[in-house]
C-alpha cells in the first residue's frame, strides 16, 4: 500500500556513507527530508546532492536533517561523493543510504513499475518530529528538484503546524497568511493581535504570526 500524508514514516536500519544508522534515531527531534535517486553517478542527481550540500545552513536553521538514498553500495557512494564535491564545489556531509536490496525503496514506494522495474523514482518525503509524513513529491528522472520550493514548503509546514493559519499560493516566509476558516472572525483579534484584512468572509489575511 502506498504511503499517504499523515502516515508514520517507516523506520529502518541501513548502511550509509556515514556509517550504520537507525532512521528514527538519526532524525531524533528534528524534521527530516528523505529523498531517493535512481542510481549513483547520474548527472541530475549529482547536481541535486550538490545543491543539498550547499544548503546545509538553510536546513540546519530549520532544524531539518537530510538523508539521501540510492540502490548502489556504500563503496559506490564514496566515489560518487568525491565527484559531487569536486564538480559542485561543495562538501557532502549528510548520509547517503545504500539500499542494495531495495527494501527501503519498497517500503517507501519509491519504485514505480511504469517508470522502471528496478530504479527508484526521484521521491522526496518531509517528515515531522513525530515521524509523520507531511509532504510527498515525486519527480520524473529527467527533472531535477527545485530546492527553493522544498525549503518554502518546509517553512509553510512548520508555520502551519504551530499556528492556526494556512499559506496562500506562492507564499514565501515573511508574507501574509490565511486565517483558518475554523476561527470565527470575531475571535481573530485576540488570536492574531497584528490585525487582519477580510477580503471575503471566508478569506481573512493576517501578518505571519511568528515574525
- Determine, yes or no, domain membership for 60: yes
Residue 46 has what pLDDT?
95
Residue 121 has what pLDDT?
61
Both 119 and 34 in a single domain? Answer: yes
The domain boundary, picked from 118, 145, 172, lies at 145
- For the segment 128-150, the average pLDDT, to the nearest whole number, is 93
Residue 39 has what pLDDT?
85
Residue 38 has what pLDDT?
82
Which strands make up the sheet holding 64-70, listed edge to edge? 19-22, 13-16, 96-98, 64-70, 31-36, 122-127, 133-139
- Determine, yes or no, domain membership for 130: yes
- For the segment 133-137, the average pLDDT, to the nearest whole number, is 96
177: exposed, middle or buried (C-beta count within 10 Å: 0-12, 13-18, 19+)? buried
- Spot the catalytic one: 45, 90, 126, 179: 45
Tell me, what CATH number does 23's domain have? 3.40.30.10
- H or E stretch covering 135: strand 133-139
Both 119 and 39 in a single domain? Answer: yes
Looking at per-residue confidence, does 25 or 138 come out higher? 25
Both 127 and 167 in a single domain? Answer: no
- For the segment 88-97, the average pLDDT, to the nearest whole number, is 97
- For the segment 5-17, the average pLDDT, to the nearest whole number, is 97
Tell me, what CATH number does 178's domain have? 3.30.1020.10
Q: What are the backbone dihedrals phi and psi of residue 175, each rounded to the nearest 5 degrees, phi first?
A: -90, 165
- Determine, yes or no, domain membership for 150: no
- For the segment 94-107, the average pLDDT, to the nearest whole number, is 92
Torsion, Cα 73 74 79 83, to 10 degrees, reads: 90
Both 186 and 97 in a single domain? Answer: no
pLDDT-derived band at 19 (thresholds 50, 70, 90) equals very high
Residue 2 has what pLDDT?
83
- Determine, yes or no, domain membership for 132: yes
169 is catalytic: no
- Determine, yes or no, domain membership for 43: yes
- Determine, yes or no, domain membership for 96: yes
Which of left, alpha, beta for 170 (phi over 0: left; psi -120 to 50: alpha)?
A: left
Tally of structural domains, the chain: 2
- Determine, yes or no, domain membership for 61: yes
Q: What is the pTM of this model?
A: 0.92
Both 140 and 178 in a single domain? Answer: no
Both 63 and 110 in a single domain? Answer: yes
The domain boundary, picked from 101, 116, 145, lies at 145
Both 177 and 140 in a single domain? Answer: no
Residue 117 has what pLDDT?
46
Reply yes or no on whether the pLDDT at 168 is more than 70: yes
Give the three-class secondary structure for 123.
strand
pLDDT-derived band at 139 (thresholds 50, 70, 90) equals confident
Kindly report the average pLDDT of the chain as a whole number.
Answer: 93
Residue 141 has what pLDDT?
78
- Determine, yes or no, domain membership for 4: no
Both 188 and 87 in a single domain? Answer: no
**Domain range enclosing 47:** 13-145
Q: Per-residue pLDDT tens for 25-76?
A: 999 999 999 999 888 999 999 999 999 999 999 999 999 999 999 989 999 9
The domain boundary, picked from 145, 172, 189, lies at 145
Q: Per-residue pLDDT tens for 102-129?
A: 899 889 988 755 545 445 567 899 999 9
Residue 150 has what pLDDT?
97
Amino acid at each position: 500500500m502506498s504511503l499517504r500524508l499523515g502516515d508514520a514514516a517507516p523506520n529502518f536500519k541501513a548502511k550509509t556513507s556515514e556509517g550504520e544508522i537507525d532512521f528514527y534515531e538519526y532524525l531524533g527531534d528534528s524534521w527530516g527530508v528523505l529523498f531517493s535517486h535512481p542510481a549513483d553517478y547520474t548527472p541530475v542527481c549529482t547536481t541535486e546532492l550538490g545543491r543539498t550540500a550547499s544548503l546545509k545552513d538553510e536546513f540546519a536553521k530549520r532544524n531539518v536533517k537530510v538523508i539521501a538514498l540510492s540502490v548502489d553500495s556504500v563503496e559506490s557512494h564514496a566515489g560518487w561523493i568525491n565527484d559531487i564535491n569536486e564538480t559542485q564545489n561543495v562538501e557532502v556531509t549528510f548520509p547517503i543510504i545504500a539500499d542494495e536490496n531495495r527494501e527501503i525503496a519498497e517500503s517507501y514506494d519509491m519504485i514505480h513499475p511504469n517508470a522502471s522495474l528496478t530504479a527508484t523514482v526521484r521521491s522526496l518525503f518531509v517528515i515531522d518530529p513525530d515521524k509523520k509524513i507531511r509532504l510527498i513529491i515525486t519527480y520524473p528522472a529527467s527533472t531535477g528538484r527545485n530546492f527553493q520550493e522544498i525549503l518554502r514548503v518546509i517553512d509553510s509546514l512548520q508555520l502551519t503546524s504551530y499556528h492556526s493559519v494556512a499559506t496562500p499560493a506562492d507564499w514565501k516566509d515573511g508574507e501574509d497568511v490565511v486565517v483558518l476558516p475554523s476561527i470565527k472572525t470575531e475571535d481573530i483579534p485576540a488570536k492574531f493581535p497584528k490585525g487582519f484584512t477580510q477580503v471575503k468572509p471566508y478569506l481573512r489575511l493576517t501578518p505571519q504570526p511568528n515574525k
